[in-house]
C-alpha cells in the first residue's frame, strides 16, 4: 500500500528543492526542471544525446536528494551510491566519446587500429602441407582493423583526450579511477576484490562530472571559435 499522499508530496517537494546544482536557478520554479539538465549538455549540439544525458543527470540528483531526505543508513543507501557512480561515469564517457567522434573520429580509429593475421585461402594446393616442429603452418596476410571507439579501452580514450586538450591530465587520472570503481561494482568483480562503494566516492563522482563537463565544454568552444 502506498504512503499517504501528503507525505509523498512532502518527500517529492524536498527532493525537488535544490535539485538543480545552480545557485542562479530559482528553486521551485518548476516541479520537473528537466530542461535545465538537458540544457546543461547543449554545447554538444546533439539533441538526442542531450535528452538522455539530461535525464541521466536528473535521475542521479533526484535519488541522491531522496537518500539525504530519508537519511538512509549505509545498509540502505548502497544501491543509490552504486547508481551514482555508474551514472556519473557513464555521463563522462558519453561526453568524451561524443567529442572524439565529432572532431577526431578518423584519427582515433587509425591511432588504435590493430593488425590481424588472416589465413590466405587457396594460396597453396590442398595437398601442400607446411609444418614446423610438428605443427601446421599456414600462409597469412595482414589486415588492418580500425579501432571501434565504443569498444576501445577507456584509458586509451582519456589518453587521446589529453593529447588533444579535450580534458586535463588531472581529470584523466580522476576519471580513470572512477571508471575502475564503476567496473568494480559488478557483483562478481566486487566479491573478488572485496569492493564496496562509498558515499564519498559518489560525491567525488558528482564533482568530477561537473569538472569533466566544464573542460569538454571549453574544448568545444575553442573548436567552434576557430
pLDDT of 177-202, one tens digit each? 999 999 999 899 999 999 999 999 99
How far apart are the C-alpha atoms of 26 and 165, rounded to whole Å? 34
The pLDDT of residue 178: 96
* pTM, two decimal places: 0.85
Q: How many domains, in total, are found in the chain?
A: 1
pLDDT of 29 > 70? The answer is no
Domain that holds residue 17: 5-110+154-225
CB 177 within 8 A of CB 146: no
28 — pLDDT class (breaks 50, 70, 90): low
- Sequence-ordered strand ranges (E) for 23-139: 114-119, 131-132, 135-136
Asked if residue 123 is part of any domain, the answer here is no
Asked if residue 118 is part of any domain, the answer here is no
The pLDDT of residue 18: 82
Asked if residue 149 is part of any domain, the answer here is no
Separate counts of helices (H) and strands (E) for the chain: 8, 4
Asked if residue 198 is part of any domain, the answer here is yes
Asked if residue 71 is part of any domain, the answer here is yes
Asked if residue 127 is part of any domain, the answer here is no
Asked if residue 124 is part of any domain, the answer here is no
The pLDDT of residue 114: 84
Amino acid at each position: 500500500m502506498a504512503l499517504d499522499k501528503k507525505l509523498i508530496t512532502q518527500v517529492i517537494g524536498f527532493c525537488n528543492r535544490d535539485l538543480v546544482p545552480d545557485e542562479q536557478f530559482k528553486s521551485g520554479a518548476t516541479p520537473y526542471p528537466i530542461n535545465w539538465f538537458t540544457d546543461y549538455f547543449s554545447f554538444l549540439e546533439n539533441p538526442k544525446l542531450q535528452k538522455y544525458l539530461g535525464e541521466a543527470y536528473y535521475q542521479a540528483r533526484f535519488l541522491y536528494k531522496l537518500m539525504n531526505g530519508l537519511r538512509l543508513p549505509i545498509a540502505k543507501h548502497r544501491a543509490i551510491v552504486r547508481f551514482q557512480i555508474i551514472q556519473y561515469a557513464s555521463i563522462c564517457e558519453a561526453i568524451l566519446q561524443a567529442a572524439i567522434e565529432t572532431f577526431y573520429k578518423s584519427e582515433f580509429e587509425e591511432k588504435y587500429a590493430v593488425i590481424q593475421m588472416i589465413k590466405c585461402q587457396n594460396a597453396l594446393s590442398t595437398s601442400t602441407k607446411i609444418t614446423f616442429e610438428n605443427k601446421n603452418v599456414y600462409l597469412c596476410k595482414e589486415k588492418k582493423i580500425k579501432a571501434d571507439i565504443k569498444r576501445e579501452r577507456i584509458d586509451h580514450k582519456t589518453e587521446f583526450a589529453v593529447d588533444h586538450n579535450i580534458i586535463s591530465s588531472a581529470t584523466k587520472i580522476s576519471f580513470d579511477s572512477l571508471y575502475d570503481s564503476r567496473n568494480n561494482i559488478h557483483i562478481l568483480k566486487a566479491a573478488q576484490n572485496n569492493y564496496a562503494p562509498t558515499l564519498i566516492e559518489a560525491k567525488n563522482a558528482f564533482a568530477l562530472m561537473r569538472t569533466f563537463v566544464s573542460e569538454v565544454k571549453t574544448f568545444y568552444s575553442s573548436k567552434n571559435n576557430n
